[in-house]
Structure 1
Amino acid sequence: MPLTLSSAPSCLSSTMNERFSTSSPLGRSVFWLCLLAYGLHVIEEYDLGWQPWAVEVLGLPVTWGDFFITNGFGVVPLGLLAGSLGWSVPAASLLLPGVMLVNMVGFHILPTISTGLYSPGLISALVLFLPLGGWCVITAFRHHRRALLLAMPVSVLLMAFPVVMLKLKPLLAFG
């Protein structure tokens, strides 16, 4: 069948459905790739000094211990959950890419723009979080819209939780 103006939209729609399919090879592995991307992101943050940057630039009273606890007991289990469940429970699995995108915007893009200083982790956020998280959001928008609408605000809350704990630490921590 020749490509005509009338067939172009359905042709494009078919291509988009294949590209953003939960059953495609990428669709089946995307959450594991998100976990790998987060691991690489943490390496960039650690090697390039995110903790001292966050103390000086963001005014967060964060230690490397806080950083490792948050990533080890927050992000890693979330990634294992997302990878294991995949698209069978999209509201749960979408929390990982949601957290990635919130992290990218809130801890890297906006601080870099507002201060003019490089935020350690910005490179991996742009190169890994943006395409993987973006793919997940587009795919969820096409196939699991309700799950996306639930997962995104919960992702914001998950990223806010350690920040709130850090801010409350001087007031509530024992010793």
Structure 2
Amino acid sequence: MTLTVWAWLALGAYTIHICEEYFFNWRDWARAVIRLPVTWADFGVVNGAVIVLGIVQAELAGSLTLIPLIYSALLLINATFFHVGPFLKTRGRFSPGLISAVILFYPIAIGTYREATLQGALGLGTLLGSIVGGALLMAMPIAFLKLRDRPYFRQS
């Protein structure tokens, strides 16, 4: 498969992941388990942005290898630190999104990195850039959630 195919699969997987999180009440889980002050509106905005980014990365996959790799790193980070890790830490408490993270995110992200390797496009710089980019994308909404209640950022 090409990087473009893997990139579109990643977007499809993320769409399924969002549905799983929504229907199994990720918001209440996130508030209780990882202490994120998230609302359903926050969930919708962030995941809407993730879908737009998914379309962008799929469209650019043929010409900018780093972009779908950043998205794949986002999948790996999300799966590991926001689903599998908390599931293990809580000794088996279900994390909404866990099923799609394990069944879809890991294989698709690994497939994307493998394809980039086969194309000779995955050097150390690209690998590190993708990890840093994915981590920044994952951290951004969390940082915004935590900063928005500080006096400097309040708009009232």
TM-score when normalising by structure 2:
0.90
1:79 has 2:54 as partner = yes
Deviations 1:120-151 (A, max 9, x none): 00000000001001111223344222322211
Higher Cα radius of gyration: 1
Amino acid at match of 1:156: A
Give the RMSD, CA atoms, in angstroms: 1.4
Q: How many residues align?
A: 150
SS in 1 for 2:38: coil
Greater helix proportion: 1
Partner of 1:125: 101
Q: Which runs of 5+ in 1 are unaligned?
A: 1-23
- 1:91 and 1:119 mapped to 2: Cα distance? 29
Deviations 1:88-142 (A, max 9, x none): 2011221211111111011101111111211100000000001001111223344
Asked if the contact 1:48/1:120 (under 8 Å) is kept, the reply is yes
Alignment map for 1:34-45 (pairs within 5 Å): 34-45=10-21
TM-score when normalising by structure 1:
0.80
Alignment map for 1:41-80 (pairs within 5 Å): 41-73=17-49, 75-80=50-55
Question: Which of 1 and 2 has higher RCO (CA within 8 Å, sep 6+)?
Answer: 2
% identical equivalent positions? 37
Runs of 4+ in 1 over 6 A off after TM superposition: none
1:165 has 2:144 as partner = yes
Q: Which runs of 5+ in 2 are unaligned?
A: none
